[in-house]
Structure 1
Amino acid sequence: MFIIGFISEPLLYLCFSILMGSLILRIVPSTHRPDFNVQKRILMAATAGIAILSFIPVLQVILYLYQDVGFAKTFILVLFTFEVGKSWIFTYLISNVLFIYIIWFDYRKRSLYAYIGLAITFLLILALGWSSHASSIQQLKGFIVHTIHFLAVTSWVGILIVVGWTSKNYSNWMKFLKWFTPFALLCFITTVVSGLSLMNVVIDYKDYTNSWMLPYGQSLLIKHLLIIPLIVYAFINSILIRKRIKNDDYFNPIPWIKVESLIIFLIFSATGVLGQQEPPHDIQQTLTASGLSKLFDLFYQGHIVHDSQLVIHLGINSLLLLALTLCFIGLTIAAYMKKAPILFGFMMSIFTVVSLYLSLITAIQ
């Protein structure tokens, strides 16, 4: 079930993002966005994906409990008494409503249809917030923060994915950037603030470094490190690209949007791994029960005891790796400036994450 959960979660985020991005862009005037075309069958598939993929956490609970009373009884018990089950029933019903709505009403014909589609999709986001881990710990606060976090992510990422992978041209790009850049910045800030609040539900800020010893902490660290190349590509696609477009009428910015969306999908994947790990509400207790992260144990050369407290101290090795990280960031930007192949820039982004990760691990004492 780990593999299924790992795959299903990023795909679930992708389904929501496709819906949000397509519907939001359709309510934007055609003069302020590139031409795009997400076919109804894609939106129908995304809606069906939400209904199916959101059932995976329910299935995981059922498979964990069914041996005591049988699968059928456990299935009914989880669906109608557990919050994760009740929220999935709501999700399934609303998904069916949205699926039928997409069949009957073509969102490409009238902006009103897109607004209604967004309202129904928002109900699905509310259901996801209801079933979230944060909501199970701090019911109202967790529900609100998770909903805001997910709404900001899928709105911003959805537009990037739709523009990057379904645009028929790059017309009106400057007008598109004029509104999308502040919108993306607002969503990014909202994502960071709400993300930190969600993290604090599971891990106290002072235990963040200590959590790196655990699989959950390693997944969280990698997710955070992936934000660095994401910021670099956001800088390229929102600031540097303006001058290029003004000076070169034939410059195509879409491939760079695609790379940024790939970085985001890696973040989704890290989140998927995160969702399959045991949240360390008590670092030492979780460490005793689950043991060290295999990834952490592979790279960390020190000795860990039961009550170890990790401290960051930048030595010569970690400083050299940090300098290498800055070089890779510079090479990512240089790849854009020198019109290098897109793959080269993407690989520099991956090397940025790897070198920064090693810099932090070698700095642990």
Structure 2
Amino acid sequence: MVVLSKALLYPSFAFLIGGLILTLVPTTKRPSIKIKRSAFALVVLSIIMLSFVPIFSSVSYVSNIFSLSFFQGLELVLTNFTIGKTWLVTVVIGIFLAITIILNKKDKRFVYFVALLLGIVMIFIVSKGSHMASLQPNLGYITHGMHFLSVSIWVGILFVIGLCAIDEQNWLAFLKWYTPVAITSVLTVTFSGLFLMGGTTPEYANSFMLSYGQFLLLKHLLFILIILYGVINGIIIRRKLKRDSSFRPKKWLRLESVFILLVLFITALMTESTPPHNVSVTLERTQPSSIFEKFHGSVGPYSTVVFSGSLVSYVFIIMVLVCVFFLFRTAFVNNRIFKGIISSAIFLIASYLFVMTTISVENTFMSEGVIFHSVEEAILKGHQENDQLTILQKGNRYDDIIYVLYTINESELISELLFESESGYERIWDSRLTIGGIPIIETDYKIRTFLITDGPWLQQGYSFTYVTFGFIQEPKDVDTVEIRYEGEHKKVPIKNQSFFNLSYSNDQWEALHPIIFYDQSENEVGDYMRGIMETDAYCH
């Protein structure tokens, strides 16, 4: 349900922004379009409703766990959760935007310009909840907002012309101004996308081993195809119109819009998965892509993707180039849209097979058999020499295994497992769970729960292990915390402003789990709620 809502949310924003831009363009520089003011209002309403879907699931669970009515749970989420507060701002601006458009009965351009500005503000508000905004609150937030806005401008104009144009007049005049707008938007999308990908998926090639990476690869191949259609609609179609004024170009624009919708749908799917900051660690916690393993066999945490061309890959790249030639030729010569669809489909398949046959997998196994004399020495071996280590607490995991909760440079909060023997300590491969992002000293508290399904943290004999730990600066008088999992309520003491807990079950519990703060007198002094459990070894 959440994926579907996001898959519809992106086109809704695009239609809103694109439609408002076209209302500001003189009628002599675009085809005639017909969009009722009520249609704009409905789009704004759909944005409000679609952005409410993720909140609805949170409200349902909060109401259940606290035995509240739906409306009491709604009030709690809207007044205490960031996602709820953001949605309230979206509602206020959306209502004002809809009223502004509906009351503009004389279709004044200045009013539409104000409406466009409000639409842009809504985009940046929604971007506040993006993954990159949580990693880098300022630069990441602005970059995601620019990325989202550029897509909405580029795609939105295409959508509106493809769906709402009642004729195909002034097409050359339209292309004259839209082509540079599209090029600027595409360049902005490309560079901002590379920046965002660098923050969320730094190991691009290795990510192909995961379902997330497979979606990302398909998204990029579709993006290349869309660029080819941009060449068709911006250059080839323009030349053909100059030669044949009776030519009807709108169907090629609509075909490009279909592929753009596929990209937006894939993007919606990806937003429901945690980006793999460290692929090796992610492969310890999640299953690799079954499609990738059909090409390259079994892969695991020690696998690395490398590029190594083969004869088969050369065959596929030739197929790709042939498809590009036929796609351009179809648009310029015979104008049969069906041939364009076939060429596009073969292009995508051949491009994917080219990438998958160009890469290979190398497995590198690293030994962790080094014995250290102290816990500090063992932990610092995995960090930079000048890093400042602060151990918050230690405890037994098993008879010969301990856990260590510590901070590095008072920024990251990390939990790690070590073998303990009479000789000293040994590091356990890929047992590090890291809470990164904003430094812990800059927040009142930082708490996360990791959902473990395999690897060294998984409790023997159980399907799921829940590792919850955190650091609390405010309130200052917290003595214990109570973690209210769906299947267990557990009180955990505070030590050095930190706490650590392991729980396990054969059932997968709901992601929402309140954490209540108590002082020494058992009085409630605060609480924390997070709507997800981390499935990767790194989170923020």
Question: What interval of TM-score do these two structures reach, taking the shorter chain for normalisation?
Answer: over 0.9
Q: Residue 33 of structure 1 aligns with which residue?
A: 30
| Cα shift at 1:312 | 1.5
Q: Is the Cα contact below 8 Å between 1:236 and 1:333 reproduced in 2?
A: yes
- Name the larger-Rg structure: 2
Counterpart-to-counterpart distance in 1, 2:318 and 2:60: 47
Pick from 320, 323, 345: which aligns with 2:318? Answer: 323
1:309 aligns with 2:308: no
- Taking only the aligned residue pairs, the percentage that are identical comes to 34
TM-score by length of 1: 0.92
Helix, strand or coil: the match of 1:325? helix
| Cα shift at 1:62 | 4.8
1:56 aligns with 2:60: no
2:43 maps to amino acid: A
Pick from 272, 285, 288: which aligns with 2:284? Answer: 288
Counterpart-to-counterpart distance in 2, 1:45 and 1:354: 38
| Cα shift at 1:257 | 0.8
TM-score by length of 2: 0.63
1:92 aligns with 2:87: no
1:130-161 CA deviation, whole Å, 9 max, x = no partner? 11111112111111001111111101111111
Q: Is the Cα contact below 8 Å between 2:18 and 2:155 reproduced in 1?
A: yes
| Cα shift at 1:66 | 6.3
**Which runs of no fewer than 5 residues in structure 2 stay unpaired?**
361-540
**Number of positions where the alignment pairs a residue of Structure 1 with one of Structure 2:** 358
Alignment of 1:100-249 (within 5 A): 100-106=99-105, 109-204=107-202, 207-249=203-245
Counterpart-to-counterpart distance in 2, 1:52 and 1:309: 43
Q: Is the Cα contact below 8 Å between 1:83 and 1:130 reproduced in 2?
A: no
Counterpart-to-counterpart distance in 1, 2:319 and 2:3: 31
Counterpart-to-counterpart distance in 2, 1:78 and 1:215: 32
Q: Residue 374 of structure 2 aligns with which residue?
A: none
1:360 aligns with 2:355: yes
Q: Residue 349 of structure 1 aligns with which residue?
A: 344
RMSD over equivalenced CA pairs, Å: 1.9
Q: Is the Cα contact below 8 Å between 2:97 and 2:118 reproduced in 1?
A: yes
Counterpart-to-counterpart distance in 2, 1:316 and 1:61: 52
1:325-349 CA deviation, whole Å, 9 max, x = no partner? 1112222112212324213212321
Query: 134-143 or 277-286: which moved more?
Result: 277-286
1:218-240 CA deviation, whole Å, 9 max, x = no partner? 11111111011111110011111
Bigger relative contact order, structure 1 or 2 (CA pairs below 8 A, ≥6 apart): 1
Helix, strand or coil: the match of 2:359? coil
Counterpart-to-counterpart distance in 2, 1:275 and 1:162: 25
| Cα shift at 1:190 | 0.3
1:257 maps to amino acid: L
Counterpart-to-counterpart distance in 2, 1:327 and 1:336: 14
1:267 maps to amino acid: V
Q: Judging changes above 3 Å, is the alpha-carbon distance between structure 1 residues 61 and 358 closer, same or farther for their aligned structure 2 residues?
A: farther
Query: 68-77 or 42-51: which moved more?
Result: 68-77
Counterpart-to-counterpart distance in 2, 1:5 and 1:80: 21
1:186-243 CA deviation, whole Å, 9 max, x = no partner? 0000001111111112121xx1011111121111111111011111110011111122
**Which runs of no fewer than 5 residues in structure 1 stay unpaired?**
none
Q: Residue 274 of structure 1 aligns with which residue?
A: 270
